[in-house]
């Protein structure tokens, strides 16, 4: 047993840098396929598990994306809400608050949350790395990307965002909060335009 263990350890140690290189190449590959997507439309189902609530909170709606900087999250159930990030601007449209525009330059604390999905879908690794520490696992055909916020304020609200994907499609986004609350968004592609 002991010898087996030693061999295994040796193999692991030898392969460690190799694995990192392979992961790095795979991330670049995934980013390239994501960047090739021109536009897409999808349905989502989000399940929030909160300590304050006895049961999870479920919302459903649609996602729209257009390369390189347009992302819209339209919640339909249980109550309509609309969030659109377009370039430097974030537009909120809620039944109570009406429509409000925010310039993302003026609200640096909002930016990481917008970029988590938008920059990933755009395959913009440089932008992601400005706000997050990136950990990639898997292969281009079935990958997991874990984003950990670099900014302490953002880290106070979000511990990590974990994305699963298959090639140029993001399949799910899981948000983990420091207090244990979390939400899981499952994305169901309806149309996609890519070469």
Q: Which residues contact other proteins by CB under 8 A? A: 48, 50-55, 57, 59, 73, 75, 78-79, 81, 83, 94, 96, 103, 105-108, 113, 157-158, 175, 177, 181
Give the integer Cα–Cα distance in Å for 182 and 191. 28
What is the Rg, in whole angstroms, of the alpha carbon atoms belonging to the chain?
19
Beta carbon nearer to other proteins, 15 or 156: 156
* Smallest separation, CB 111 to other proteins (Å): 10
Beta carbon nearer to other proteins, 91 or 194: 91
Sequence-separated (6 or more) residues with CB below 8 Å from residue 185: 44, 45, 46, 47, 172, 173, 174, 175
* Smallest separation, CB 49 to other proteins (Å): 11
Buried/exposed 105-140: b ≥16 CB within 10 Å, e otherwise: eeeeeebbbbbbbbbbbbbbbeebeebbeeebebeb
Beta carbon nearer to other proteins, 64 or 83: 83
CA separation (Å) from 165 to 109, 110, 156, 189, 195?
A: 26, 24, 26, 12, 18
Beta carbon nearer to other proteins, 29 or 151: 151
* Smallest separation, CB 170 to other proteins (Å): 16
Beta carbon nearer to other proteins, 27 or 63: 63
* Smallest separation, CB 83 to other proteins (Å): 7
CA separation (Å) from 57 to 50, 74, 77, 125, 185?
A: 8, 16, 11, 32, 12
Rounded to an integer, what is the distance from CA 43 to the centroid of its chain?
Answer: 15
* Smallest separation, CB 18 to other proteins (Å): 38
């Amino acid at each position: 047993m002991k010898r087996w263990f030693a061999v295994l350890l040796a193999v692991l140690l030898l392969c460690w840098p190799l694995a990192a290189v392979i992961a790095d190449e795979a991330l670049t590959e995934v980013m390239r396929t994501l960047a090739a997507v021109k536009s897409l439309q999808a349905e989502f189902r989000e399940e929030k598990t909160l300590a304050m609530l006895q049961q999870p909170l479920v919302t459903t709606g649609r996602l729209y994306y257009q390369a390189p900087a347009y992302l819209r999250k339209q919640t339909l159930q249980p109550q309509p809400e609309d969030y659109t990030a377009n370039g430097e601007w974030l537009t909120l449209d809620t039944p109570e608050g009406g429509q409000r525009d925010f310039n993302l330059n003026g609200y640096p604390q909002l930016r990481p949350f917008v970029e988590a999905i938008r920059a990933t879908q755009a395959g913009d690794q440089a932008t992601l790395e400005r706000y997050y520490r990136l950990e990639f696992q898997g292969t281009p055909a079935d990958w997991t990307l874990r984003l950990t916020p670099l900014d302490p304020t953002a880290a106070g609200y979000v511990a990590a965002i974990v994305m699963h994907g298959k090639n140029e499609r993001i399949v799910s986004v899981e948000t983990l909060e420091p207090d244990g609350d979390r939400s899981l968004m499952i994305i169901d592609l309806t149309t996609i335009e890519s070469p």
